[in-house]
Structures are given as structure tokens and as C-alpha cells.
């Protein structure tokens, strides 16, 4: 199963890189958070501000459009509807001039089975990744101890 967090992160990294070209690497810039957040969680006037800001930035606007399309895909109910939505999305991506979108399209097509498994079960890898994070944190706090009994 391909976790939706990781699929969305692929596009968010590109959005962040393009955003930095316009705003610099200012993590406190409010547009950063708005661009990375799902549009359905943003108030109308803030959405309008995003689209106004993106108006003269066509590459970033296209990346944002596909990020929102991925969020809509993950709100789809049912495996067959999701399969059709994913096919439509990857077909639209074929017309993009951005190499990042074409690369994402190839990734989505390669991993489509794993991505669509989410719509069968509704499960993610979050719990497993949480346990792995705890284990790594314990190991990190061990300050290089090699003997397991010393943990």
C-alpha cells in the first residue's frame, strides 16, 4: 500500500521548491502553509488570495492545481471511482509541460495498484511509521550504544 501522505509529499516538495523561487526560503511566509494545505481546509477568502498570488506564476499554479486534484482523488469513495479518477488525472498530466508533473504521472502509473489499495481498505501506514519513529528515537537517545542490553 502506498501511503497517501507520501504520494502528496512528492508534489508538495516540488511546490515548495518553486515557491522558494518567488518568496525565498522564508518558512514563516504565510503563503507556504496555504500552498501546502488542502484547499478544502482553507477559507474562501484565503483560497482567493492563493489564486490571485498564483496568477502570474503559471508553473506553480499548475503544480498547485494537480496537488488539489490529488487531494480530491483521496476524498473519492470507492475503489472503482478512485480508479477512474486516477486514470483521468494521469491522462490530464500527460499534457503538462512540467517535467515534475510528467515524473509524478509516471510514478502514479507505476504505483497505481498500491495507491488504489488505500480505497479498498482505508488504511494507511501511519501506525507502522509511528512505531518505527519511536524505535529510531530510542536508538538515537542511546548515543551510540551497540549492545541491545544497554538500551
Task: List the domain boundaries for the chain.
Answer: 4-124
Identify the DSSP state of 142.
T
The set of cell numbers assigned to 105 is 504521472
Identify the DSSP state of 95.
T
Block mean pLDDT (10 aa), the chain, length 151: 82 93 81 88 91 95 96 93 96 96 95 89 74 78 67 53
Q: How many CA atoms lie within 13 A of 116 on its CB side?
A: 16
Contact (Cβ atoms closer than 8 angstroms) between residue 116 and residue 82? yes
Kind and range of the H or E element at 25? none
Amino acid at each position: 500500500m502506498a501511503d497517501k501522505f507520501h504520494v502528496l509529499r512528492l508534489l508538495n516538495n516540488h511546490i515548495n521548491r518553486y515557491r522558494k523561487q518567488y518568496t525565498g526560503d522564508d518558512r514563516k511566509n504565510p503563503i507556504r502553509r496555504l500552498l501546502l494545505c488542502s484547499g478544502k481546509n482553507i477559507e474562501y477568502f484565503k483560497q482567493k488570495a492563493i489564486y490571485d498570488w498564483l496568477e502570474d506564476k503559471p508553473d506553480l499554479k499548475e503544480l498547485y492545481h494537480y496537488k488539489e486534484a490529488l487531494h480530491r482523488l483521496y476524498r473519492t469513495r470507492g475503489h472503482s471511482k478512485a480508479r477512474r479518477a486516477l486514470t483521468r488525472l494521469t491522462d490530464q498530466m500527460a499534457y503538462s509541460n512540467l517535467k515534475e508533473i510528467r515524473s509524478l504521472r509516471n510514478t502514479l502509473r507505476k504505483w497505481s495498484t498500491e495507491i488504489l489499495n488505500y480505497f479498498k481498505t482505508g488504511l494507511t501506514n501511519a501506525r507502522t511509521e509511528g512505531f518505527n519513529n519511536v524505535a529510531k528515537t530510542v536508538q538515537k537517545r542511546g548515543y551510540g550504544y551497540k549492545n541491545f542490553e544497554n538500551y
